[in-house]
Structure 1
């Protein structure tokens, strides 16, 4: 028989490292000697290699319901040789970054995505040329088991090892063959605990338990403490949903806020030191009470805003729906947002520029009384030109106030808090601080105008004596 047609029945079988051969002992080739091993041997079945085949390596489910990821970086290129568990690429989901490892030994033939492309779960990620298999099985001699440190990672032909990328990486880092680990998960899936248990048996090391498996015993209970009462049955909720129409002030708010969505808002925030104003208000409260007036901080805020509007009339203007015309309002009709049982309402006091602080306080008392009783007139609720919201009376430091069309500006006042600050001599002192948040219609009001108005308003409140000089 020609040497070209001799059939080889035995070939070298390498589990990890090369096997050393000794002198011939018996023949299992047609006319050719085989090799004797210096140790006992037994027979097993394996398959012979044919020419390479292309395998599509698909992006598997990485959990959390994620269906697509972004390819951040490739660790391989076309033509590179990879082994099982080698890192192929890094992908980024909306929750975390994940390193994808190879399941095969072979050569990279194609990359389906470029960096920053979107890859989909279940779709091909790369093509890998692997060693093909044929159906015929032949007898070979099995080498004895090598030492643990000689093990390398191999894929067991015909057997699919179930493990997550994190478990495979843990096995790779500790030089463990997954084929030697008994999986305790569903369908024989190898879990992290299986790797740790295997490593502990092999090395005798005491490994820390998995956080999920850690059980914290309850604290010991004193002997004389009473036994805990049995848990009562949870109450049964018997309520039902109800639907009611949007009416009254809520319906008006829906219309107003929907129109406000078309306004590009510009926000500006600052803090105001009200230490002097707090002292002045305490001095004036008995005087106001003698006149039957409840004096809060709001009359000062409103009057300071009116003085600022005299210098910046664009903030006391209005625009038409198409924003083609600007109307500068002569009267300062300043609205005050109020929280009532009927909902949010914004009554306004007319002609603040012509009123004193006490007159503003008296008008504010009237509006608050009527608002609480739900008896505000249409005149009280219409015609506003500028608005302040005292949201700080309920709580909070900052707010993003929404402009009330056709107005073009609004301010939200935070709560007053005692905070440490430096005085003019560089000494730390107690200061009464309030934050203010302004919103302006950025179509007609620029940021510099809003900032200058805020600085002027702030100066009046931080130095109430200066405000007296500009009162008319």
Structure 2
């Protein structure tokens, strides 16, 4: 009985539905609904066109405001100091234009624009402290520019290998950083003609410089940082141009800074590299230093360098003594790899470094910096000189980046370029050894026949981590390093 009742109700519901549809969808009703639908469609399109015109007019009149935020520079850096603004409020900028230069406790970097637009607000004054993740500037983007709320572009002279952009050239993508593209543009170099040596064929700044050197046969001369020695010759008959180096025994006029007297105490916070020095030297204080000093007779090396100097200059490279010192150190580290190692914080494990990334303490306008030459064990003396020229140029311009300052495994400090003979160098953690080179002096010495002769003598001072390096090892390494320099022809046997 229940089944019959449900069936009757279903049939009645179906009949009523069919009658409702026939009444609602009569021809006159269809015409009315169709006209109403067409009118509504026209009205909707009119509203869309009016709205689009109004929106386009608003965008053309004023673009969107984009906040530039300081991106993560790496190495655990959370704050930087704004050194210089390259723009001011109201200035128009294009993509990759430099906005400002900031300095962390490790390196200086340049912030570049990601958009075309107008600077509307600067969030910091010069010498102000900017925090990672906080806005640096506000930019009013131009109409039609693609808005992408990403962090700002951070550029260094040698940008991190993982950060890159792509540029479409002749149908294929060429990988290069904005700094590299700008360098190529300034020198009228097509990136498609440059062979990239970075990861996945990425073009590095070094590739541009090498390409430029091959085309022009010269590289911009670096600022002189290394000590130069010239053997005094006969007096010239005509006025000679100003020598590049100061002859032995002749001191240049002192360039002492002007005295500053304010009459009151001045207190300021530690910033930048001074702050980094506090951290590094505090960590170095935990290392028991072992010191060792010796002297090296560089008379033969002076003659050899005088012969090779002109050859290197024709190739566009300034050849100092430092490339020989660095290469001799690398040859010595092959025999005593413990000097090219690092010790973990718990003093439980030693890591022997495969690469000889030999640092050079450099006195710059920003303070003491220690860039390093990567993979010295694979480089020739000439290639080391090329890299030193590049580092000197960057140091003089205050453009040494993290790529040049990080990753050192062994350090030499050329204190002789400023003055002094002996020093007590402080180890740079996590390294375990460092050497300080004094100035080269012409001094009397006895030769093998007992005759007094002129000799070019340089003092060297070594410091080593006495927890893992004993005095005998440091002494043997120093003897081998000295032998290479006193008999530079012997280096040929071990060069690769």
Calculate the TM-score normalised by the size of structure 2.
0.47
- TM-score (ref. length: structure 1): 0.50
Q: Which has the higher helix share?
A: 2
